[in-house]
C-alpha cells in the first residue's frame, strides 16, 4: 500500500510539472510537445506501465484492506466517537480512494484514451526562430498522418521558421473544461486527492517503519503543504483557468 | 472540587452469553456522587439491580487503581471514556454532566468475544504473548543488577513500551480493530534491550503471525489507538515493529 502510494505521489509531482505547460501562453505548443514526449519516450513508456500496475495494485489492496478490516469488527458500536482520536481523512481512505478511482477512469477516458485512440485534431505552429514568436493555425482537416509530430524548418522572406505539426491535445483540454459539470467533477476530485494524501503520504512512511521525531517534521510538512495543498490546488487551477479563459 | 450529586441515564449493553444476541437496557441512576469512580457508579447500579431482584451487570475490574488493565468499558463512543490517559476505574463521575445519557458498550472486535454483558474474552492477547513475548533466561542464581550495560534512552523507551497494561483499548478504539499498538509495545519492550536480542527476529514474526491468526484488523495509521491508550503508548512502537518485521522477513532463516 505504502510502496505503490508513494510511487503514485512521485507521479503526481511529475504530472504537475508537465501540466504546468498548459499555463504557457503559446496556443498549446509546449503542452502538445510535452504530450508527444510522454507517449513516445521509451523510458517514460516503461514507467507508465509501472504506473498503471501501481494504480491497479493500490486499488485492489485498498479494497481488500477495507473488507478485511470490516470483518475484524462484526458487531459495530452503537456510539463511536472517531473524531476524538483520529482525523476524518484517516478514517475515510477507502471512500476517498473510491472517488479517486472513478475520477481516474473519467480522466483517462477524457484525455488519455482520446489522445491514443480517439480523434484529436492536428495543429500547425510556425515558430519564428529569430524572435521566438509563435503563429498558430489549425492543420488542414484531411491531415491524417499517423505521426504524432512533424517538424521542419522553412526559410521565407520574413525569416527562418520552424513548422511544427502536432496532435492538439491542448484544444481537447481547453474545450473540455468549458463544461461546468466536468469542472465540478475535477474540483471535487482534487479535494479527495488533498484529503487522501494528507493522511496517505505520512502514513506510508509509518508503514515502512519511519516514524521518528527527527524526520516526522519534514514528512508532515511535505505531506501537508506539497501533497495535500500545493498539488491539488495546482491541478484544480487548470480546469478553472480554462473555464474562465 | 466541591462534592455534588448528579442524575444520569445509563444505556448499557446486556448480553446473557456469547451465543445470545444482546441489546441495550436503559437504567436511570439518581444521586450519583461526582467523586465516585465510573466503576463505583456501576457498583451502585448493581446493588440497585440486585435489590430489585434483577441480574447485575457483569463487567471486568480488578485493581481499580489504573494499573492492571482489566476494566474495559466503551463509554460514549470512546474506550475508557472521555478523559485522556485514564482507565475506566480512574474515570470519575465529575467528568459527566447532570442529566447526561451515558452509553456503555463492551470492546467490539472479532477476537474479543463477549462473554457476558460488558465482559469480553481477551485471551487472544495472551496467545500473542505466548507466541513470542518472552526472553530466554538461564535458571539458577539471579544475575547482578546492571551487569549488562544498557543505554539510558533505550531503557526509558523500553520502559515506556512496557507500561502497556494489555487492556485492549487500542483494539477497541481502532476503526479496523487492529492490535498493532499492543503487539508493537510488547515487541518493542524486548527489542530495545540486550536481553531481547537472541529471539528478536523470530519474536516479531511469530507475534505478528499470531496477531493475524486471531483475526485482528490491519493497521492504517489512524493513530486512534495511541490517542485513546490509558498508558499513552507511542505510535513509534508500531513503526519500530514494522521495521523489525521487514528486516526479519528479509533476513531470518
Least confident of A161-175, B27-41, B43-57, B172-186: A161-175
At B251, list the grid cell.
533476513
DSSP 8-state code for residue B112: B
What pLDDT, on a 0 to 100 scale, did the predictor assign at position A136? 86
At A22, list the grid cell.
498548459
Within an 8 Å CB–CB cutoff, is residue A64 touching chain B? no
In chain B, the percentage of residues whose pLDDT exceeds 90 is 92
Domain boundaries, chain A: 2-120+170-244, 122-167
Question: Which residue did the predictor score with more confidence, A26 or B89?
Answer: B89
Taking a C-beta distance cutoff of 8 angstroms, is the pair A22, A238 a contact?
yes
Which part of chain B is CATH 1.10.1060.10? 123-251
To the nearest 10 degrees (0 to 180), the angle between helices A2-19 and A42-71 is 140
Q: What's the mean per-residue pLDDT of chain A? A: 92
Alpha carbon of A222: minimum distance to chain B alpha carbons (Å): 17
Within an 8 Å CB–CB cutoff, is residue A88 touching chain B? no
Which part of chain B is CATH 3.10.20.30? 5-105
Measured between beta carbons, the chain A residues lying within 8 angstroms of B217 are 68-69, 71-73
At A9, list the grid cell.
505521489
At A165, list the grid cell.
505539426
Q: Helices in chain A by DSSP H: which ranges?
A: 2-19, 29-40, 42-71, 88-91, 93-107, 113-117, 169-176, 180-207, 213-221, 231-244
pLDDT digits (tens, 9 = 90+) for B167-177: 999 999 999 99
Q: Which residues contact B6 (CB under 8 A, 6 or more apart)?
A: B32, B34, B93, B96, B97, B98, B99, B100
CB contact under 8 Å between A78 and B216, yes or no, is no
Alpha carbon of B144: minimum distance to chain A alpha carbons (Å): 34
CB contact under 8 Å between A79 and B224, yes or no, is no
Is residue A146 predicted with pLDDT exceeding 70?
Answer: no
Query: Distance between CA B137 and CA B71 in Å, rounded?
Result: 32
Within an 8 Å CB–CB cutoff, is residue A82 touching chain B? yes
A149-156 and A159-167 strand pairing: antiparallel
Is residue A145 predicted with pLDDT exceeding 60?
Answer: no
Within an 8 Å CB–CB cutoff, is residue B188 touching chain A? no
What pLDDT, on a 0 to 100 scale, did the predictor assign at position A143? 60
Which chain A residue shows the shortest CA-CA distance from B245?
Answer: A209
The average pLDDT across B71-78 equals 96
What pLDDT, on a 0 to 100 scale, did the predictor assign at position A147? 64
Is residue A141 predicted with pLDDT exceeding 80?
Answer: no
pLDDT digits (tens, 9 = 90+) for B11-29: 999 999 999 999 999 999 9
Which chain A residue shows the shortest CA-CA distance from B83?
Answer: A84
Number of Cβ within 10 Å of residue B156's Cβ equals 12
Least confident of A65-74, A83-92, A95-104, A155-164: A155-164
* Fold (topology level) of B5-105: Ubiquitin-like (UB roll) (3.10.20)
Measured between beta carbons, the chain A residues lying within 8 angstroms of B74 are 77
Among candidates A147, A178, A189, A188, which has minimal Cα distance to A164? A147
The average pLDDT across A122-147 equals 75
Taking a C-beta distance cutoff of 8 angstroms, is the pair A123, A130 a contact?
no
pLDDT band at B3 (very low <50, low <70, confident <90, very high): low
- Domain B123-251, CATH homologous superfamily name and number: Alpha-helical ferredoxin (1.10.1060.10)
Comparing CB atoms, the residue among B111, B177, B223 nearest residue A90 is B223
Within an 8 Å CB–CB cutoff, is residue A207 touching chain B? yes
Within an 8 Å CB–CB cutoff, is residue B77 touching chain A? yes
Q: Which residues contact B203 (CB under 8 A, 6 or more apart)?
A: B132, B133, B187, B190, B191, B196
pLDDT digits (tens, 9 = 90+) for B197-245: 999 999 999 999 999 999 999 999 999 999 999 999 999 999 999 999 9
Is residue A158 predicted with pLDDT exceeding 70?
Answer: yes
Is residue A68 predicted with pLDDT exceeding 90?
Answer: yes
Query: Distance between CA B129 and CA B109 in Å, rounded?
Result: 18
pLDDT band at A42 (very low <50, low <70, confident <90, very high): very high
In chain A, the percentage of residues whose pLDDT exceeds 90 is 73
pLDDT digits (tens, 9 = 90+) for A203-219: 999 999 999 999 999 99
Q: Helices in chain B by DSSP H: which ranges?
A: 38-51, 123-132, 152-162, 169-173, 180-191, 200-214, 224-228, 236-251
- Maximum CA pair distance of chain B? 64
CB contact under 8 Å between A77 and B105, yes or no, is yes
Amino acid at each position: 500500500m505504502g510502496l505503490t502510494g508513494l510511487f503514485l505521489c512521485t507521479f503526481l509531482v511529475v504530472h504537475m510539472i508537465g501540466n504546468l505547460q498548459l499555463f504557457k501562453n503559446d496556443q498549446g505548443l509546449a503542452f502538445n510537445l510535452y504530450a508527444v514526449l510522454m507517449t513516445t519516450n521509451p523510458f517514460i513508456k516503461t514507467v507508465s506501465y509501472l504506473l498503471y500496475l501501481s494504480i491497479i495494485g493500490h486499488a485492489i489492496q485498498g479494497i481488500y484492506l477495507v473488507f478485511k478490516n470490516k470483518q475484524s469488527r462484526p458487531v459495530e458500536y452503537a456510539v463511536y466517537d472517531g473524531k476524538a482520536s483520529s482525523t476524518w481523512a484517516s478514517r475515510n481512505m477507502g471512500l476517498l480512494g473510491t472517488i479517486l478511482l472513478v475520477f481516474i477512469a473519467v480522466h483517462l477516458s477524457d484525455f488519455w484514451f482520446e489522445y491514443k485512440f480517439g480523434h484529436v485534431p492536428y495543429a500547425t505552429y510556425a515558430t519564428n526562430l529569430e524572435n521566438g514568436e509563435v503563429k498558430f493555425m489549425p492543420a488542414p482537416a484531411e491531415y491524417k498522418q499517423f505521426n504524432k509530430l512533424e517538424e521542419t524548418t522553412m526559410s521565407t522572406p520574413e525569416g527562418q521558421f520552424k513548422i511544427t505539426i502536432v496532435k492538439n491535445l491542448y484544444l481537447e483540454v481547453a474545450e473540455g473544461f468549458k463544461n461546468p459539470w466536468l469542472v465540478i467533477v475535477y474540483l471535487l476530485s482534487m479535494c479527495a486527492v488533498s484529503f487522501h494524501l494528507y493522511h496517505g503520504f505520512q502514513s506510508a512512511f509509518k508503514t515502512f517503519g519511519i516514524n521518528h521525531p527527527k524526520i516526522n517534521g519534514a514528512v508532515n510538512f511535505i505531506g501537508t503543504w506539497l501533497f495535500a495543498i500545493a498539488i491539488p490546488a495546482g491541478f484544480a487551477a487548470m480546469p478553472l483557468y480554462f473555464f474562465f479563459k | 472540587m466541591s462534592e455534588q450529586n448528579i442524575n444520569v441515564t445509563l444505556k448499557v449493553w446486556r448480553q446473557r452469553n456469547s451465543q445470545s444476541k444482546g441489546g441495550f437496557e436503559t437504567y436511570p441512576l439518581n444521586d450519583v456522587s461526582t467523586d465516585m469512580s465510573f466503576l463505583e457508579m456501576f457498583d451502585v447500579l448493581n446493588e440497585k439491580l440486585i435489590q430489585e431482584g434483577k441480574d447485575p451487570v457483569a463487567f471486568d475490574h480488578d485493581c481499580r487503581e489504573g494499573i492492571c488493565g482489566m476494566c474495559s468499558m466503551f463509554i460514549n463512543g470512546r474506550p475508557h471514556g472521555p478523559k485522556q490517559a485514564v482507565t475506566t476505574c480512574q474515570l470519575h463521575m465529575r467528568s459527566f454532566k447532570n442529566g447526561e445519557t451515558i452509553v456503555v458498550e463492551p470492546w467490539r472486535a472479532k477476537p474479543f468475544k463477549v462473554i457476558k454483558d460488558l465482559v469480553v474474552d481477551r485471551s487472544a492477547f495472551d496467545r500473542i504473548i505466548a507466541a513470542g513475548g518472552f526472553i530466554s533466561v538461564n535458571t539458577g542464581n539471579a544475575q547482578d543488577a546492571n551487569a549488562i550495560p544498557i543505554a539510558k534512552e533505550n531503557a526509558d523507551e523500553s520502559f515506556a513500551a512496557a507500561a502497556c497494561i494489555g487492556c485492549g483499548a487500542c483494539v477497541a478504539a481502532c476503526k479496523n480493530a487492529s492490535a498493532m499498538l499492543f503487539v508493537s509495545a510488547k515487541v518493542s519492550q524486548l527489542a530495545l534491550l540486550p536481553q531481547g536480542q537472541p529471539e528478536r527476529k523470530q519474536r516479531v514474526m511469530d507475534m505478528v503471525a499470531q496477531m493475524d491468526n486471531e483475526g485482528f484488523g490491519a493497521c492504517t495509521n489512524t493513530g486512534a489507538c495511541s490517542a485513546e491508550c490509558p498508558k499513552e503508548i507511542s505510535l513509534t512502537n508500531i513503526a519500530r515493529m514494522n521495521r523489525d518485521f521487514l528486516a526479519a522477513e528479509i533476513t531470518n532463516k
